[in-house]
Structure 1
Amino acid sequence: MMLRNILLRRKRTRRTEKVQPETPTDPYEHHFGGSTSILSDTVRESVESRAWSTSASSFSKLGSVVTSVPSGSSSLAPQKSNSFGILKRLKEPFDGRQSKLPKDRREFQNDIFACIAGYRDLYHTHASYALSSITREAISLHILNHVSKKRRRVLKNNERLSHATKNKVPIPEDVQDQGFTRPSILILLPFRSSALSWLDALMTHTPPPTYQVENLARFRREFGLPEGAVDKLATAEPGTYPPDHVETFKGNIDDSFRVGIKVTRKSLRLFSEFYASDIIIASPLGLRLSIEKEKNADFLSSIEVLVMDQTDALTMQNWEHVQYVMSQMNELPKEAHDTDFSRIKPWYLEKYAAYLRQSILLTAYETPETRSLFNTSLKNVAGKLSTKRQWPPVQVPDELEQNFIQLDCTSLKDEPDKRFAHFTTQILPAILKSAVQSANTAIFIPSSLDFIRVQNHFRKQELSFTVLSEYSSNQDISRARQAFFSGIKAFVLVSERFHFYRRYKIRGIRNLVFYGPPDHSIFYTEFLSYPFLDEDVEPADVTCKVLYSRYDWFKMERIAGTKGASQLMKQGPL
């Protein structure tokens, strides 16, 4: 109640305050200044009503980009330069490193800068593992530039206030330069190894001896592999594991972590207390556990830049944790935390911070979850950009017939029940009647809930089957694979999360049924290649059925290609 009263008093007095002129060409001041001009009632209403105007443009390496801007927005247009708004002390060392990169990589980094420098949201929908390092480096520069400009503004106003007090002159009123709490950057990641990669990216801009990185040894110890441990993915012969799997799972893959980083002009202080930190690096699970333990999320009240990397991997974890963190961001804090309310930017007091927060989402592919996040949770009045690409069809063995079966469903709510009904009344009975397809059949199931449902149905029907799920132990996996390969079990049920985490090759498959198309198109091609692990198997010996609905567009686009998926969607249910 006390905090709310303070906020109300500040709202009443702020209308009489003088406003310091801002530099309109500086992206930070233009977007996050105390009296930013882009946050009008008209623009906010446009965001809430989803009145976005869209336009398409093309970047040399990032490809096609769709820009969505709310009506009335005065945001800065993309600038195709890596120097746009970057402080000189950060820009010059970066230019030196960038000059050593191949031209195509320099251009890619500049495309990233062009999209994010003006503080518009970026939804990069086909982020490449091969370019992940230079992508992190570019975004890290943007992050450090943001923190440095914020800190510089605070220190400048501290000097003005100190000078006024010392010389007994009127205290300046145009010193609104802070949020409710100090953290302004949140980086959400799936694994500890990801956090280590992001720290390395930050450190490229803070090299010794100019900078000190405090507690670095502890960070590498807690976020790297235990001493003496051998990373079988990193040390395996090339080709043993798919490249994307190696990049995702090498290193420490613990998914519960959180760490604060305090940034000064000459140092990065790792493991700083959250309310003394500028940057928070965390997993959704680790952050949620912290919020629930402390019973508040005040340290997320003033986040100005959100980065979510490897979002496709986050969808394979518990997406509810991501939704929970998003729901806690930019809310009014429950406690004051020794805040000087005379320094808080007015739009924080009005609870408009979510309209200015920049979100940068990086994912290898789109899912309904990531698209929904982009459409409904990102309200940046400066606008948002999303990358687009035309997907080619995946390559499968020649002469292998793919049977795509469209599910008759017009309601997303009813889709799981309709899919289950179609599978159990149409597809499975036909398989059981076939002497060929009633054995050596693998059923790939994307959803964990659907997996449990189908497993219970198989058990109820007393069918001969075994399972490979994300909860299977190494011993369970060995027994299941052997039972299926030897023919002891006629069916094997495989969850997508099992394949995501384990990536085992499964021998003995002659018939494939995709209960739903996989999120990752590589999984589709891998399963279609498994029958040919065995000798003397011809494409004509293999059957493949894919059950899909109109709500599987993203998945089907990556499998059948953009044009092919469009044709499949138009043909309608059989």
Structure 2
Amino acid sequence: MNDLTTTTKLLTLLNVSATQSGKRRRLYEEVLPAGEKLNKRKPVQFTAPDDDSSKEAEPSPTEKETDAIVVDDGHEGVADEDQGTSDPYETHFGIKPIDLTDSSRSQVDSRAWAITRTKYGRLGPLSISVPEGSNPPTSAATGETGLLERLKTPFKARQGKQPQEQTMYQNDLLSVLSTNRDVCLSSQPYEVQTCMREAISLHALNHVTKKRRRILKNNERISNATKADANASTPDDVQDQGFTRPSVLFLLPFRSSALTWFRALTCHTPSPAYQIENQSRFMTEYGLPPGAVDKLASAEPGTYPRDHVETFKGNIDDNFRVGIKMTRKSVKMFTEFYGSDIIMASPLGLRMSIEKEKGADFLSSIEIIVVDQMDALLMQNWEHVQFVFSHLNQLPKGSHDTDFSRVKPWYLDGHAAFLRQSILLSAFESPETRSLYNNRLTNVSGKIRNEKRWPAVEIPEGVNQQFISFDCINPKDELDKRFNHFTTQVLPAVLKSAVQSVNTVVFVPSSFDFIRVHNYFRKHAGVSFAVLSEYSTNQEISRARQAFFLGKKSFLLVSERFHFYRRYKIRGIRNILFYGPPDHPQYFPEFLSYPFLDDGVEASDITCKILYSKYDWFKLERIAGSDGAAELIKAV
């Protein structure tokens, strides 16, 4: 964004704000009554949560008036935990971030990154990118997490009750997160995912708490200055806010994911003194309906693949959004976005909210975004994720009662995206997630991603598998080249064989490719076939599976999204054509094992063909292993 556009928009916002008298401060920035100290200890009575989950607890007049005080009410005062200029929060999100320079912004814009590789504790090999010309990192992290003591103490106590390996993993992760660099973690073991979410939640809570404490401390300074001199101007160093209140965004695929992160957040809150308002309503709306049984979670181990259980247990509705307000003694669920500190939403839910309001001003001041289960988001609609990222940290269209004298300078300059910390979590990397990492993460402090060397997947011994390559120079032509090679080379060779032209499954990873292949079979292939897609009804699925197993249909077209959502075992397979390697590596050995569900099948009876190009590197690496994929790419 050029400086002229930025200046014009900000002048417009300032003019709008000036015309709204009495609305220069937000509700959580109210100036205290004269003679009253911010950190004065006051008795506050919290009512028990209403048993009726449909009702939101109404705060008493006392609570309304002292909400800003309750946030940091305590004997220690407001500033007792300030870390000083060495605090990672102050050095990155303070008034003058040390890494935000004209040079660093220029290097990020031109994608000029200096890349170093290192191995860091339990996180393993890491690739660290910083803008060229910046001081290269000597390690992945500083070793100092900068956690506030009132968060660190109960966290350490909680760590004492878990395995040492998980504690070491959390400490390494918190150390990396404290650098405020972007972090991309893929292929993390299931055993560490719970403790990983707890560490990231603690980092987010620490961020929100420090921001709130800074605001309240400056409120007190302004109040004291006003009492001393009624004509005193606002101090110059109280710029402590963004345009709007929300500063942390969790982007998640399902309601069950939101429930998981809610538990991770609230595990750091002291109990039973801490109150969670509207908790029963949240559990009702984001959990399973009363009386419902989760067949995935309740099934015996081994009945369903573990990754399928972890992804789909619980409420899998993908249209949701909820605001969360954090105070010192309560977590308030279902708060209005502009009064929230944290937003949890699915990409679809957030997009619908943006389009309904015709604006995304509540995303203008997001300083930390956590995107979890990107592998699941890929199976939904990746365009929604791109849409959300395109609306992050844009200059707002309205003033929203903003006190512009309190807005940090780099917000006014339109540089918020250069400081936002993005935390990306996925079971694997894909071209879409790597593109997001390369093009949407513009943190001037740098970015970190873990690297992994993949072993080859194990398949039944003796199965004849053939990797078929096609040449493609321009990635824009890859879709057409793949379709042309499949329809002119691979499929005709299969149809000429009496053995391979029956009992054949065609597995298509991309939904767009699936539609194209389906239309070709319908118009030109001249063979009987059935279809299993994510849009197939239960009756259609049953008929297709039965017709294929009985030999009434020679071919069965299967989309990866169908297998992702349904995970059916398919009988009657003797030949498998992979239109492209699957994104999920576990699907490859699964399909090669399905023929052995039938009696009397030998490994020599099974054929497998995999069509690939050099742009399938990520998928090939997870199937053939890092070394095997390198050899396959050389053959292209």
Same fold (TM > 0.5):
yes
Cα pair 1:465 1:491 within 8 Å, conserved = yes
Instruction: Provide the residue aligned with 1:342 in structure 2.
Output: 405
1:382-531, aligned counterparts within 5 Å?
382-461=445-524, 462-531=526-595
1:100-111, aligned counterparts within 5 Å?
100-111=161-172
Q: Measure the CA separation in 2 of the matches of 1:343 and 1:255.
A: 37
Q: Deviations over 1:320-355 (max 9, x none)?
A: 000000000000000000000000000001100000
Instruction: Provide the residue aligned with 2:90 in structure 1.
Output: 29
1:159 aligns to 2:220 (yes or no): yes
1:566 aligns to 2:630 (yes or no): yes
1:121-520, aligned counterparts within 5 Å?
121-168=182-229, 169-461=232-524, 462-520=526-584
Query: How far 1:172 moved relative to its partner?
Result: 1.3
Cα pair 2:118 2:140 within 8 Å, conserved = no
Q: Measure the CA separation in 1 of the matches of 2:362 and 2:135.
A: 29
- State the secondary structure of the residue aligned to 1:325: helix
1:538 aligns to 2:598 (yes or no): no
Instruction: Provide the residue aligned with 1:16 in structure 2.
Output: none
- State the secondary structure of the residue aligned to 2:236: coil
Cα pair 1:57 1:66 within 8 Å, conserved = yes
1:39 aligns to 2:100 (yes or no): yes
Q: Measure the CA separation in 2 of the matches of 1:318 and 1:114.
A: 33
Q: Measure the CA separation in 1 of the matches of 2:531 and 2:12.
A: 59
Q: Measure the CA separation in 2 of the matches of 1:125 and 1:236.
A: 27
Query: How far 1:80 moved relative to its partner?
Result: 6.3
Can you give the 5+ residue segments of structure 2 that lack an aligned partner in the other structure? 1-6, 17-81
Cα pair 2:14 2:404 within 8 Å, conserved = no
Q: Which of residues 89, 109, 125 in structure 2 aligns to 1:48?
A: 109
Amino acid at match of 2:263: D
Instruction: Provide the residue aligned with 2:160 in structure 1.
Output: 99
- Is 336-345 or 51-60 further displaced after alignment? 51-60
Amino acid at match of 1:521: P
Q: Which of residues 88, 94, 97 in structure 1 aligns to 2:149?
A: 88
Instruction: Specify whether residues 453 and 215 from structure 1 end up closer, same or farther in structure 2 by C-alpha distance, changes over 3 A only.
Output: same
- Is 189-198 or 91-100 further displaced after alignment? 91-100
Query: How far 1:23 moved relative to its partner?
Result: 3.1
Cα pair 1:3 1:335 within 8 Å, conserved = no
Q: Measure the CA separation in 2 of the matches of 1:182 and 1:170.
A: 24
- State the secondary structure of the residue aligned to 1:306: strand
Query: How far 1:208 moved relative to its partner?
Result: 2.0
Instruction: Provide the residue aligned with 2:23 in structure 1.
Output: none
Query: How far 1:402 moved relative to its partner?
Result: 1.2
Amino acid at match of 2:399: A
Q: Measure the CA separation in 1 of the matches of 2:484 and 2:9.
A: 54
Q: Measure the CA separation in 2 of the matches of 1:4 and 1:381.
A: 23
Amino acid at match of 2:147: I
Q: Measure the CA separation in 1 of the matches of 2:134 and 2:261.
A: 32
- State the secondary structure of the residue aligned to 1:50: coil
Cα pair 1:439 1:490 within 8 Å, conserved = yes
Cα pair 1:514 1:547 within 8 Å, conserved = yes
Cα pair 2:251 2:344 within 8 Å, conserved = yes
Q: Measure the CA separation in 1 of the matches of 2:211 and 2:134.
A: 23
Amino acid at match of 2:155: F
Cα pair 1:80 1:113 within 8 Å, conserved = no
Instruction: Specify whether residues 556 and 223 from structure 1 end up closer, same or farther in structure 2 by C-alpha distance, changes over 3 A only.
Output: same
Query: How far 1:127 moved relative to its partner?
Result: 2.5
Cα pair 1:22 1:30 within 8 Å, conserved = no
Instruction: Specify whether residues 75 and 297 from structure 1 end up closer, same or farther in structure 2 by C-alpha distance, changes over 3 A only.
Output: farther
Cα RMSD, aligned residues only: 1.7
Amino acid at match of 2:160: S
Cα pair 1:443 1:513 within 8 Å, conserved = yes
Query: How far 1:435 moved relative to its partner?
Result: 0.5
Instruction: Provide the residue aligned with 1:5 in structure 2.
Output: 11
Query: How far 1:274 moved relative to its partner?
Result: 0.1
- State the secondary structure of the residue aligned to 2:122: coil
- State the secondary structure of the residue aligned to 2:564: helix
Query: How far 1:160 moved relative to its partner?
Result: 0.4
- State the secondary structure of the residue aligned to 2:146: coil
Instruction: Specify whether residues 269 and 176 from structure 1 end up closer, same or farther in structure 2 by C-alpha distance, changes over 3 A only.
Output: same
- State the secondary structure of the residue aligned to 1:187: strand
Q: Deviations over 1:460-513 (max 9, x none)?
A: 133200000000001110100000000000000000000000000000000000
Q: Deviations over 1:432-481 (max 9, x none)?
A: 11010000000000011111111111111332000000000011101000
**Moved beyond 2 Å, runs of 4+:** 1-4, 6-10, 21-24, 71-81, 127-130
Q: Measure the CA separation in 2 of the matches of 1:509 and 1:316.
A: 25
- State the secondary structure of the residue aligned to 1:500: helix
Query: How far 1:112 moved relative to its partner?
Result: 1.1
Amino acid at match of 2:382: W
Instruction: Specify whether residues 394 and 2 from structure 1 end up closer, same or farther in structure 2 by C-alpha distance, changes over 3 A only.
Output: closer
Cα pair 1:120 1:380 within 8 Å, conserved = yes
Cα pair 1:75 1:382 within 8 Å, conserved = no
Amino acid at match of 1:308: V
Q: Deviations over 1:407-445 (max 9, x none)?
A: 111111111111111111111111111010000000000
Q: Measure the CA separation in 2 of the matches of 1:203 and 1:350.
A: 35
Q: Percent identity?
A: 63
Q: Measure the CA separation in 1 of the matches of 2:440 and 2:190.
A: 26
Q: Measure the CA separation in 2 of the matches of 1:392 and 1:363.
A: 18
Cα pair 2:583 2:619 within 8 Å, conserved = yes
> What TM-score do you get using the length of structure 1 for normalisation?
0.95
> What TM-score do you get using the length of structure 2 for normalisation?
0.86
Instruction: Provide the residue aligned with 1:68 in structure 2.
Output: 129
Instruction: Provide the residue aligned with 2:44 in structure 1.
Output: none
- State the secondary structure of the residue aligned to 1:521: coil
